[in-house]
């Protein structure tokens, strides 16, 4: 008796790839929006890349993820996720600490 698992393998993989792609796009968009809403001098105060460099890096990664991904996770998607997570987990708390801590995010 043959198993029916190989029939659904491609569909399951497609849905998982699509879900990961959507989550990566959301994370990258949140990081880019947060970066664009911050003051430029706060980036220099915490000793990181300037605001323009972070905005450019996050925007390029988001655009490449949208254009090149094609519904699957590719190298640019992984680079974009890494850049967005570095921004959100390292730079964002520093920006919050350098301000009064009562920002909208």
Tens of pLDDT, residue by residue over 51-98, are 999 999 999 999 988 888 776 677 888 889 999 999 999 999 999 887
pLDDT band at 104, cuts 50/70/90?
Answer: low
The alpha-helical segments, DSSP class H, found in the chain are 5-36, 40-45, 51-68, 75-86, 92-98
Half-sphere exposure of 60 (CA within 13 A, CB side): 8
Instruction: Note the pLDDT tens digit of each residue in 9-60.
Output: 888 888 888 888 899 999 999 999 999 999 999 999 899 999 999 999 999 9
Distances (CA, A) of 36 to 31, 32, 40: 9, 6, 9
pTM of the shown model? 0.82
Q: Are 58 and 87 spatial neighbours (Cβ–Cβ below 8 Å)? A: yes
> Tokens representing 81?
């996720």
């Amino acid at each position: 008796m043959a198993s029916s698992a190989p029939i659904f393998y491609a569909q399951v993989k497609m849905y998982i790839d699509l879900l990961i792609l959507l989550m990566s796009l959301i994370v990258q968009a949140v990081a880019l929006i947060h970066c664009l809403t911050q003051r430029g001098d706060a980036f220099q105060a915490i000793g990181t890349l300037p605001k323009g460099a972070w905005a450019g890096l996050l925007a390029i990664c988001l655009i490449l993820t949208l254009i090149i991904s094609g519904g699957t996770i590719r190298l640019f998607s992984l680079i974009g996720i890494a850049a967005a997570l570095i921004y959100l987990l390292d730079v964002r708390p520093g920006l919050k600490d350098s301000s009064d801590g009562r920002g909208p995010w």
